[in-house]
């Protein structure tokens, strides 16, 4: 397998993991909002034509399910916003390498379309360099942020899980982003030196 194919598969796989996390978070949010709505309805004013439905909802929210020592009940998911916050942060960093590999970042090419091919390659190289510097700085600060959270043993307010776990997940995705960025910078440099495009926008070779 060529290095280009390996980088592409790595970026795709990380983006897929990010997509799975987003799906899980979406289901979690729906379950939490639905459970909160049922609980609010069940504890509403008694009487009226909806009384039977309220009694049924109240019976439902009072059910406790024990699975392996963990107790679950109908209602909002405790710490749902903490899980969403950590999961979305990981998903964002997971999508970044693939977006960069596929040249999916927003571009304004109204003027560059009229420039020569070599000038456009220079612009591509400079933008790739800037993106590489950006992701390196972000990964560097994530690393120090993670060490800081470990040092002070900070935890979330409700679930009490260590905050550095979320930093570590984002750091791992950012590290892959650095690797992908460095490879793409190398590609842009070769294109600038040889005058030959190695890969068309959108991923894959020409």
Tell me the whole-structure pTM to 2 decimals: 0.80
pLDDT in tens, 130-151: 999 999 999 999 999 999 999 9
Of the candidates 100, 103, 62, 114, the residue with the CA atom closest to the CA atom of residue 182:
100
What is the predicted pLDDT for the residue at 154?
A: 92
What is the predicted pLDDT for the residue at 69?
A: 53
- Burial of 110 per CB tally in 10 Å (0-12, 13-18, 19+): exposed
What is the predicted pLDDT for the residue at 52?
A: 47
Check whether 203 has a pLDDT greater than 70: no
Q: How confident is the model at residue 128 (pLDDT cuts 50, 70, 90)?
A: very high
What is the predicted pLDDT for the residue at 206?
A: 40
> For residue 162, what are the CA distances in angstroms to 85, 121, 146?
13, 45, 10
DSSP per-residue codes, 95-118: HHHHHHHTT-S----TTGGGS-HH
What is the predicted pLDDT for the residue at 59?
A: 45
- Burial of 66 per CB tally in 10 Å (0-12, 13-18, 19+): exposed
Of the candidates 178, 96, 101, 107, the residue with the CA atom closest to the CA atom of residue 136:
178
Check whether 205 has a pLDDT greater than 50: no
pLDDT in tens, 2-51: 888 999 999 999 999 999 999 999 998 988 887 777 666 555 555 554 45
pLDDT in tens, 41-88: 555 555 554 454 555 555 445 555 554 554 455 566 778 899 999 999
Which H helix or E strand runs over 173? Answer: helix 163-194
More confident residue, 201 or 125: 125
Using the 8-state DSSP alphabet, how is residue 76 labeled?
A: P
pLDDT in tens, 152-165: 999 998 888 899 99
pLDDT in tens, 92-105: 999 999 999 988 87
């Amino acid at each position: 397998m060529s290095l280009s194919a390996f980088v592409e598969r790595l970026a795709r796989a990380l983006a897929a993991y990010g997509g799975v996390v987003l799906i899980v978070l979406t289901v979690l949010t729906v379950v939490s909002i639905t459970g909160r709505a049922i609980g609010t309805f069940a504890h509403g004013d008694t009487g009226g034509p909806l009384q039977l439905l309220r009694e049924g909802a109240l019976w439902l929210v009072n059910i406790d399910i024990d699975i392996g020592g963990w107790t679950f009940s109908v209602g909002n998911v405790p710490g749902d916003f903490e899980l969403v916050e950590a999961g979305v942060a990981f998903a964002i960093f997971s999508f970044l390498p693939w977006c960069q590999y596929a040249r999916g970042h927003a571009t304004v090419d109204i003027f560059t379309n009229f420039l020569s091919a070599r000038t456009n390659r220079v612009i591509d190289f400079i933008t790739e360099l800037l993106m590489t510097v950006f992701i390196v700085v972000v990964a560097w600060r994530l690393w120090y942020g993670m060490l800081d959270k470990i040092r002070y043993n900070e935890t979330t307010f409700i679930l009490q899980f260590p905050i550095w776990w979320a930093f570590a997940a984002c750091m791992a995705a950012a590290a892959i982003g650095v690797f992908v960025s460095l490879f793409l910078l190398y590609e842009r440099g070769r294109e600038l030196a040889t005058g030959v495009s190695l890969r068309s926008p959108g991923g894959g070779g020409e």
